[in-house]
Amino acid sequence: MRRVLAALSVVLVALTAGALPAQAASPPVPSEDPFYTPPDQLTGAPGDVLRQRSVEVKVGPFPAPVKAWQLLYRSTSATGEANAVSGTLLVPPVPWTNGPRPLVTYAVGTHGIGDACAPSYKLRAGTENEVALIGQALSKGWAVVLTDYEGLGTPGTHTYATGQSEGRAMLDAARAAFKVREAGLSADGPVGVFGYSQGGQAAAFAGELQPSYAPELDLTGVAAGGVPADMTAVAKFNDGGPAFGLVLGAATGLSTAYPEVPFSSILNDRGRKLVDRIQDACTLELGAAAPFARLRDFVTVPDPLSDPRWQARLTENRAGDRTPTAPVFLYHGTLDELIPFNVGKALLSRYCEKGVTAQWQTLPLLEHIGGVAAGGPLAIEWLGERFAGKASASSC
């Protein structure tokens, strides 16, 4: 079974090389699938399952050898309001005999803003690009639950780059997974948090919010790589860069999460046209939406991020200002062209100042994509040691 699941990585490589035929038919996109539309009244508690269905997930045209459920669950927005988030629970069909089966709550990196970019849809369509890492976790016998984040799949705009809502969506995905009776998971089983890039932001916030938001979860470790821990610094670094479209995407997501921050009201004609264009964009289209442009090219004010309303919310979404009680594993490529290496190191420093058990892994001469390829397997092994009850080393 482990060999079969590990082979998913090989299949993924073949897919990206165009070696396999295109899938003949895909499931309906979320905007055309009633499953994603939440009920009018969101009752119950965070993590309650609002709706579930058994689904088949694929790697390209091939069914993956796992049990899978698509979930719609109750969560909480960045401003504390009840919301509904979609996700997917995956359980390998092999018995786990060493106590309760571990659960990894997994956050994907940037997938885009459009609903068709949601990992729950991409898993069913056979186009999910992070299936190799997911497969590595499943090959160890762990269950994996993936959140779609707020507004990615479900109606409304995705609150991209908003750590406060991402972290809660991750924690509530774990809560929801334990409530799927058919999955056979135990609510007192160990939970690991894992994510890179946008997923690293989500993972860091999940770790920081867990002691107050979801204290009942037995969180044994948080693996977060390439973390955009300081969105102000990340925005300045990418202003005028080749992936500037991600800056506009982040501004769109944060202004959706916090309606009081000025964004749509300060866009010029060029800005309005571009923001309209990226509303349905997935990763590549979003990143390449306006290469080497600057934020000032699209707005009517000189420096929008200096506005006190923006500063307040950006500060609220800076990782490292709260204290996770579970050990943390951070990793970052030294040549990361999207999220500066020093942003990751600064996050480590803030954790160390708070007494967090934080282990740091430098990935020499690797850029952003190289960081996930090299660091992801290290994070999987680190989580495995936490599930085994071993103490984590500290780099502080």
Extents of the domains making up the chain: 2-230+323-387, 244-315
- What CATH class has 2-230+323-387? alpha beta
pTM over 0.75, yes/no:
yes
85-118 burial by CB neighbour count: b if 16+ within 10 A, else e?
bbbbbbbbeeebeeebbbbbbbbbbbbbbbbbbb
The H or E element containing residue 218 is: strand 218-225
What confidence category does residue 212 fall into, taking pLDDT thresholds of 50, 70 and 90?
very high
User: Counting Cβ atoms within 10 Å, is residue 260 exposed (0-12), middle (13-18) or buried (19+)?
Assistant: exposed
Q: In this model, does residue 11 exceed pLDDT 90?
A: no
Q: What is the pLDDT of residue 26?
A: 81
d(CA 295, CA 256): 18
Helix H segments across the chain? Answer: 2-16, 119-125, 131-139, 163-178, 198-213, 231-238, 245-257, 269-278, 283-287, 308-316, 341-353, 368-387
Q: What is the pLDDT of residue 164?
A: 98
pLDDT 10s digits, 82-99 = 999 999 999 999 889 999
pLDDT 10s digits, 142-199 = 999 999 999 999 999 999 999 999 999 999 999 999 999 999 999 999 999 999 999 9
- What would the DSSP string read from start to end of 353-373? HTT--EEEEEETT--HHHHHH
Over the Cα atoms of the chain, what is R_g? 20
Q: How far is the CA of 296 from the CAs of 142, 172, 249, 266, 302, in angstroms?
A: 47, 37, 15, 10, 6
Query: Is 217 in contact with 191 (CB distance < 8 Å)?
Result: yes
What confidence category does residue 10 fall into, taking pLDDT thresholds of 50, 70 and 90?
very low
Query: Is 358 in contact with 394 (CB distance < 8 Å)?
Result: yes
Q: In this model, does residue 13 exceed pLDDT 50?
A: no
Phi/psi of residue 221, nearest 5 degrees: -175, 150
Could you say which DSSP state residue 297 is in? G
Q: What is the pLDDT of residue 94?
A: 87
**Both tokens of residue 383?**
């989580």
Q: Which of 295, 293, 297, 298 is closest to 306 using CA atoms? A: 295
Question: What is the percentage of the chain residues whose pLDDT exceeds 70?
Answer: 94
